[in-house]
Amino acid sequence: MTSVNETNANLQMREIFGLTLAELGAAHEDILVLDADLHTSTRITYFKDRFPNRFIQAGIAEQNLFGLAAGMALAGFTPFPCTFASFVARKSIDQFALSICFPALNVKVPGSYVGVPTSKAGASHNSFEDIAFMRTIPNLKVADPGDAADMRAVMKTAYETPGPVYFRVVRYALPDMFGDDHTFEWGKGRLIRKGTDVTLFGTGMMTDRCIKAAVLLEKEGISAEVIHLASIKPIDSEMIVESVSKTGCAVTAENASIIAGFGAAVAEVLVENFPVPLKRIGVRDQWIDSGEIEELFAFYKMQPEDIAAAAVQSIRMKEGRSK
């Protein structure tokens, strides 16, 4: 089991993202950062302050932001157009899909302010559908990092990966799951905790809640396996099947809509390869209200207790099928 500590608990993931982007900029002169007038929120100010000549302000014109990024990629640069995930997935999806993904240009897109922790920004700024949108776009790789080391590893691999990449940046501080030597590979998951009764598949910030749910289940005599899948597209089909072939049932957890999202991606793998009972935790068919973050996680039933309860339901479904 990977140890969990609080080393980066005081830094939100957007801070880790901003600091890492500046570090990558120092190592790679081809990196350009484009902004849609949100640099203080997305924390790309770290890059802006160090490399003002490689920082481009597009203003509140997100469609142009991605058009500019496409042109710069064609000129040989590696652009990071930065804005909120809601403005990528809704406002600029046509330009992003056709100008960048269709020709498979080398553009790296961080989608900031994702899911429930963005609640106070309101419905217009809150993105819960971005995973569903992005995983349908050909040529595009999609990731949701689960801690600071994972964010750094995802960004390093994204830079080294030819073609378009979309990764999520949550406005939330997360405890450490991995050490400084952590690496990220497309299509590969990470076994966090071994178990025999049920598999908890997490992505992004929800993997930490899966770990906490496994601890709760252990107190009830239930052995839960926890797997972190930062790489949503491509997804680690082999690890998914290998785990459920042992446990016989599963739960998925995501800080996003369960409709066509991460849970759906896992379900597709299971349906085609090894059908087992599956329960999904995430935002259901509803808008996210404004409010205190943890209160909203409780309201939308996305807390560790909810994951544990879903695991019990999944186990009961498994046991019912075996009778």
Q: Is residue 203 part of a domain?
A: yes
Residues 256 and 203 in one domain: yes
Indicate the pairing of strand 31-35 with strand 78-84. parallel
Residues 210 and 244 in one domain: yes
Domain endpoint, select from 169, 203, 223: 169
Domain extent at residue 209: 190-322
Compute φ and ψ for 101, nearest 5 degrees: -80, -40
Domain endpoint, select from 169, 203, 219: 169
pLDDT at position 119 is 77
* Each residue's pLDDT expressed in tens, for the chain with a length of 323 residues: 333 334 455 899 999 999 999 999 999 999 999 999 999 989 999 999 999 999 999 999 899 999 999 999 999 999 999 999 999 999 899 999 999 999 999 999 999 999 999 877 777 788 899 999 999 999 999 999 999 999 999 999 999 999 999 999 999 999 999 999 999 999 999 999 999 999 999 999 999 999 999 999 999 999 999 999 999 999 999 999 999 999 999 999 999 999 999 999 999 999 999 999 999 999 999 998 888 899 999 999 999 999 999 999 999 999 987 65
Q: Is residue 43 part of a domain?
A: yes
Domain of residue 242, CATH code: 3.40.50.920
Number of domains comprising the chain: 2
Residues 157 and 37 in one domain: yes
pLDDT at position 148 is 97
Residues 238 and 157 in one domain: no
Residues 22 and 139 in one domain: yes
pLDDT at position 322 is 64
Residues 105 and 244 in one domain: no
Indicate the pairing of strand 108-112 with strand 55-57. unpaired
Q: Is residue 183 part of a domain?
A: no
Q: Is residue 176 part of a domain?
A: no
Q: Is residue 222 part of a domain?
A: yes
Residues 23 and 144 in one domain: yes
Residues 96 and 235 in one domain: no
Which segments within 73-183 are labelled E, that is strand? 78-84, 108-112, 141-143, 165-169
Residues 125 and 207 in one domain: no
Q: Is residue 134 part of a domain?
A: yes
Residues 194 and 101 in one domain: no
Here the tokens at position 41 are 């929120």
Residues 65 and 158 in one domain: yes
Q: Is residue 300 part of a domain?
A: yes
Burial class (CB in 10 A: 0-12, 13-18, 19+), 82: buried
pLDDT at position 6 is 40
Q: Is residue 23 part of a domain?
A: yes
pLDDT at position 10 is 80
DSSP 191-219: EEE--SSEEEEE-TTHHHHHHHHHHHHHH
Domain of residue 97, CATH code: 3.40.50.970
Residues 122 and 74 in one domain: yes
CB atoms under 10 Å from CB of 166, counted, come to: 29
